[in-house]
Copies of this chain bind each other. A is one copy, B any other.
């Protein structure tokens, strides 16, 4: 079960850093935050420890006296969880979300076409099963 518990916004930001940058030390995670709004070292630390308690990250090694943390849950599973929740707030329907993504230019035509292809493939597979 990769599920893990619900992660807070801030916790997700830290996971984000780990997903993007591979195993990192506390200091390195801190450096992922913009200089003008960077939490204190110990703030990050507390979060990472909490993530560790939740089973979302683990210590993989020690460089000098610094622990190096790596994500234990995948970006995908976190995304799944989030989307679930997110859609729940909007009646479970994804369509308005899509519409919004398009209107704000977050989705390109290529993205959509790619999606369509995937979808066709999936539905065909279902037919055959």
Chain A residues within CB distance 8 Å of chain B: 9, 12-13, 16, 20, 75-76, 79-80, 82-83, 85-87, 89-92, 94-104, 106-109, 111-116, 118-120, 122-123
Contacts and interface: CB of A to CB of B under 8 A. Distances in A.
A102 B125 CA distance: 14
B119 A16 contact: no
A111 B116 CA distance: 10
A91 B106 CA distance: 12
Contact of A86 (B20, B75, B76, B86): B86
Given A91-B16, A120-B109, A100 B83 contact: yes
Contacts of A85: 9
A82 B76 CA distance: 19
30 contacts: A9-B85, A20-B91, A75-B90, A75-B96, A76-B96, A76-B100, A79-B96, A80-B104, A82-B86, A82-B89, A83-B101, A83-B104, A86-B86, A87-B106, A94-B107, A95-B107, A95-B111, A95-B114, A98-B98, A98-B107, A102-B118, A102-B119, A102-B122, A103-B122, A108-B119, A109-B116, A109-B123, A112-B112, A112-B116, A112-B119
